[in-house]
Chains A and B, each alone.
Chain A
Amino acid sequence: MKMTATHERKSKGGLAIIKRRFVAGVTVPLLLYESLGIFVLGWAFVLIFFDYSSGRLGGPILGLGGSNPFVGLGHFIEMIKGTSVEANLFRVSLRNTLIFALAILPLNLAITLPLAWLLETIGIRFKSLYRTIYFLPVLTSSVGVALIWMSMYDSQAGWINAIIRFFGGTPVSWLSDPHAGFAGVSVAMWAVILAYLWQDYGYNMVIFIAALQGIPQELKDAALIDGASPWQVFLKITIPLIRPTMLFVCVMTMLSSFQVFDIIQVMTNGDPGNQTQVLMLDIYKNAFRYQNLGWAAAESFVLFLIVMGVTIFQMRVLRTNWEY
Chain B
Amino acid sequence: MMKRKIFALIVILAFVLSACGGGSTGGKTVVRMWTTANPAFNAGYESLISAYEAGHPNVDIQLETFDYELYLQTLQTAMPAKEEADILQLFGTWTSQYYERLAPVPAEVMTVEQARETFYGAPIGGFIVDGVLYGMPQEFNMEYGGVLVNRAKFEAAGLTYPPEWQSMDDVVDTAVLLTQKDAAGMMTTAGFHFTSADPTSFSFLAGIKQRGGDYWNADHTGFTFNTPEAHAQLQWMLDVVNAGVVDPVVFNDSTNFVIDAFFQGKVGIGYIGTWAIAEGQTNFPDFADKWDYVSLPSVQGDPVFVADSGWGLTVSPNSKYQDIAWDFVKFVIAVPENAGQWNIASGTIPAIPAVAESAEIAAAMPWVPKALSILPYGEYLGNMPDRDLVVYEIIYPHILNALQGVETVDEALQAIDTEANSTFR
CB distance from B193 to the nearest CB of A (A): 14
The verdict on A89 contacting chain B, using a C-beta distance below 8 Å, is yes
Q: Once the chains bind, are A89 and B393 in contact (CB under 8 Å)?
A: yes
Q: Once the chains bind, are B250 and A55 in contact (CB under 8 Å)?
A: no
Q: Once the chains bind, are A173 and B254 in contact (CB under 8 Å)?
A: no
The verdict on A120 contacting chain B, using a C-beta distance below 8 Å, is no
Tell which of B70-78, B149-157, B202-210 binds the partner.
Answer: B70-78
The verdict on B185 contacting chain A, using a C-beta distance below 8 Å, is yes
Tell which of A175-183, A206-214, A225-233 binds the partner.
Answer: A175-183
Chain B residue at smallest Cβ distance from A71? B425
Are A54 and B80 CB-contacts (below 8 A) given A155-B250, A170-B184, A179-B405? yes
Q: Once the chains bind, are A54 and B76 in contact (CB under 8 Å)?
A: yes
Tell which of B269-277, B372-380, B416-424 binds the partner.
Answer: B416-424
A177 to B389, CA, bound (A): 23
Interface string of A118-146 (1 = CB under 8 A from B): 00000000000000000000000000000
Chain B residue at smallest Cβ distance from A82? B422
Q: Once the chains bind, are B79 and A85 in contact (CB under 8 Å)?
A: no
- How big is chain B's contact interface, by range? 35 or more
Q: Once the chains bind, are A55 and B388 in contact (CB under 8 Å)?
A: no
A53 to B388, CA, bound (A): 15
Interface string of B380-402 (1 = CB under 8 A from A): 00000010110001100100110
Query: Contacts of B397 on A, CB cut-off 8 Å?
Result: 273-274
Chain B residue at smallest Cβ distance from A285? B393
Q: Once the chains bind, are B77 and A178 in contact (CB under 8 Å)?
A: no
Q: Once the chains bind, are B97 and A291 in contact (CB under 8 Å)?
A: yes
Q: Which A261-296 residues have a C-beta within 8 angstroms of B? A: 268-269, 271-274, 285, 288-291, 293
Query: Contacts of B389 on A, CB cut-off 8 Å?
Result: 85, 290
Query: Contacts of B393 on A, CB cut-off 8 Å?
Result: 85, 89, 285, 290
Query: Contacts of B72 on A, CB cut-off 8 Å?
Result: 288-289
Q: Once the chains bind, are B185 and A170 in contact (CB under 8 Å)?
A: yes
Q: Once the chains bind, are A176 and B255 in contact (CB under 8 Å)?
A: yes
Chain B residue at smallest Cβ distance from A169? B184
Q: Which B36-89 residues have a C-beta within 8 angstroms of A? A: 69, 72-73, 76-77, 79-80
Q: Once the chains bind, are B406 and A165 in contact (CB under 8 Å)?
A: no
The verdict on A11 contacting chain B, using a C-beta distance below 8 Å, is no
Q: Once the chains bind, are A290 and B418 in contact (CB under 8 Å)?
A: no
Query: Contacts of A56 on B, CB cut-off 8 Å?
Result: 100-101
Are A55 and B97 CB-contacts (below 8 A) given A63-B80, A273-B401? yes
CB < 8 Å neighbour of B250 from A63, A86, A176: A176
Are A273 and B400 CB-contacts (below 8 A) given A89-B393, A176-B255, A179-B405? yes
CB < 8 Å neighbour of B394 from A85, A169, A272: A85
The verdict on B112 contacting chain A, using a C-beta distance below 8 Å, is no
The verdict on B318 contacting chain A, using a C-beta distance below 8 Å, is no
Chain A residue at smallest Cβ distance from B253? A271
Q: Once the chains bind, are A176 and B101 in contact (CB under 8 Å)?
A: no
Query: Contacts of A321 on B, CB cut-off 8 Å?
Result: none
The verdict on B249 contacting chain A, using a C-beta distance below 8 Å, is yes
The verdict on A244 contacting chain B, using a C-beta distance below 8 Å, is no
The verdict on B98 contacting chain A, using a C-beta distance below 8 Å, is yes
A269 to B389, CA, bound (A): 15
Chain A residue at smallest Cβ distance from B74? A288
In the complex, 10 of the A-B residue pairs with CB atoms within 8 angstroms, ordered by the A residue number, are A55-B100, A57-B100, A82-B422, A84-B422, A156-B182, A165-B182, A175-B254, A269-B254, A289-B72, A290-B386
Could you list which residues of chain B lie within 8 angstroms of chain A, going by C-beta atoms? 69, 72-73, 76-77, 79-80, 97-98, 100-101, 182-186, 188, 249-250, 252-256, 266, 386, 388-389, 393-394, 397, 400-401, 404-406, 418-420, 422-423, 425
Please name 15 further chain A to chain B contacts, defined as beta carbons within 8 Å, in addition to the given A82-B422, A273-B397, sorted by A numbering: A55-B76, A56-B101, A83-B419, A84-B419, A85-B419, A86-B422, A156-B186, A156-B188, A176-B250, A176-B254, A178-B406, A179-B406, A271-B255, A272-B249, A289-B69
Could you list which residues of chain A lie within 8 angstroms of chain B, going by C-beta atoms? 51, 53-57, 63, 67, 82-86, 88-89, 155-156, 161, 164-165, 169-171, 173, 175-179, 268-269, 271-274, 285, 288-291, 293
